[in-house]
Amino acid sequence: MPPAAVTKGNDKGMIYMRVTVGVFFGGRSVEHEVSVISAIQAVNAFDKSKYDVVPVYCAKDDHLYAGTDIGKIEAYKDIPALLSRSQRVICAPLEKGRLALVKYPPKLLGGAVYASIDLAFPIVHGANVEDGTIQGFFNYMSVPFVGCDVTASAVSMDKYVTKAVLRFNDIPVLDCVRLSAKPFYSGEDEAVRRVENAFSYPMIVKPVNLGSSIGIKKAYSAVELVGAFEYAFQFAGTVIVERAVENLRELNCAVLGYGDSAEASECEEPISGDAILSYSDKYMSGGKSKGMSASKRKLPADLPPETRAKVRELAVRTFTALGCCGVSRIDMLMDAASGEIWVNEINPIPGSLSFYLWEPLGVSYARLIDKLIELSFTRERENAEFASSFDTNILENFSGGMKGPKQR
């Protein structure tokens, strides 16, 4: 069972069991650097009277590192130097629910275990990590973790599959055409014809599974469409095309919860300097790389109460339809002339964990982290009630041969 730690304590004299939280960040993703910023912001925001925090950096070659400087943002100016003075670790499951960070290569002196953690907190963005990969790793290691499970992460990180699930739940999304690199390069004209039959210009081409506006272009003509495909295929093997929404306003709202109990944050309107909200609009505003919390926005978004209520309701329905857990941010597109709103995408682990969308509702970053940890232990307790093995071992009486296993 997971430690009852966080749920057990209160202010009336009961004792808190301290929880050791491993914050995993980085990873083999084009959003690696954004994740470093998001994670170190979070590490600084933890209430250290309740938690021991162990930052774990997932380098681009998949090696994991811990150490005194791994949680310090200034150390990432020179990553090779940082890694040379840090401790490489590998993960090993201990008794159920705990994970050892074992020193690697093995040390003869000073103990083998760098730290053992009660809870993994992935703060990663993008393909190969946020898409169910790191969640599957924690699942396999039997350590509880914060945020969406494998399925919700994988579905949420694929823009095409997300649309399919949302449409199934009567949530408005834009139509799209999905195309892979191989058929495109073996028949560009046919691909362009197919898309032109579906939509009129301008159109948006985007990699199916990335974030942070990477690989996205707007196309006003067939020539630009081909260019946009070629650009997007540099980042992903599959892309989607949509019509570009006119009179565009973008509205984002985060949701916090699990199962049927989920609540919406304040709504923001990110402000772009261009037709597409770019990577630099999101992370580099003012010349500083402070992560999503530094991007230009109106917060709260300037909306009539009924539109704000609609955005928040759509956000919660999206979160629930996708089976999310923890905090996710739902991004919407609005045609300001018609007032129509479509859910554009969901970020299962949003930049800066969307802490800035909760502060206007009186939820501090430290409290948001508390809630995320409580939710993950709640899920872990619920999952522990399901059997994961049968007591009967059919292999005990198995005498070999090919027939046995086929008779199920």
Ligand X SMILES: Nc1ncnc2c1ncn2[C@@H]1O[C@H](COP(=O)(O)OP(=O)(O)O)[C@@H](O)[C@H]1O
Residue 128 in contact with ligand X, rule: CB under 6 A: no
Rule CB under 6 A: choose which of 131, 149, 269, 331 binds ligand X: 331
Residue 251: helix, strand or coil by DSSP?
Answer: strand
Write each residue from 69 to 108 as x if it is in contact with Mg ion (CB under 5 A), else as -, in one continuous string. Answer: ----------------------------------------
Report, in Å, the least distance between residue 127 CB and ligand X: 11
Distance (Å, rounded) from C-alpha 42 to C-alpha 275? 31
In one-letter notation, the amino acid at residue 98 is R
Structural contact between residues 314 and 330, judged by C-beta atoms closer than 8 angstroms: yes
Name which of 130 and 380 has its Cβ closer to ligand X.
130
DSSP state string for 314-338: HHHHHHHHTT-EEEEEEEEEEETTT
Query: Taking CA 38 as the corner, what is the angle to CA 103 and CA 132, rounded to the nearest 5 degrees?
Result: 70
Name which of 55 and 207 has its Cβ closer to Mg ion.
207
Q: What are phi and psi of 186, to 5 degrees?
A: -90, 0
Which residue's beta carbon is nearest to the bound ligand X?
277
Structural contact between residues 206 and 331, judged by C-beta atoms closer than 8 angstroms: no
Rule CB under 6 A: choose which of 276, 284, 299, 366 binds ligand X: 276
Name which of 119 and 214 has its Cβ closer to ligand X.
214
Residue 177 in contact with ligand X, rule: CB under 6 A: no
Name which of 210 and 316 has its Cβ closer to ligand X.
210
Binding residues for Mg ion restricted to 330-389, rule: CB under 5 A: 331
Name which of 268 and 380 has its Cβ closer to Mg ion.
268
Name the token pair of 61. Answer: 């070659």
Structural contact between residues 166 and 244, judged by C-beta atoms closer than 8 angstroms: no
Stretch that binds ligand X, among 179-187, 243-251, 300-308, 365-373 (CB under 6 A): 243-251
Residue 232 in contact with ligand X, rule: CB under 6 A: no
Rule CB under 6 A: choose which of 38, 41, 212, 295 binds ligand X: 212
Name which of 255 and 363 has its Cβ closer to ligand X.
255
DSSP state string for 285-320: GGG----GGGS-EESS----HHHHHHHHHHHHHHHH
Residue 272 in contact with ligand X, rule: CB under 6 A: yes
Q: Which of 322, 168, 312 is nearest to 258 (CA)?
A: 322
Place of tokens 């609009």: 281
Residue numbers of the site for ligand X (CB under 6 A)? 174, 204, 206, 210-214, 216, 242, 244-245, 248, 250, 272, 276-277, 331, 333, 344-345
Residue numbers of the site for Mg ion (CB under 5 A)? 331
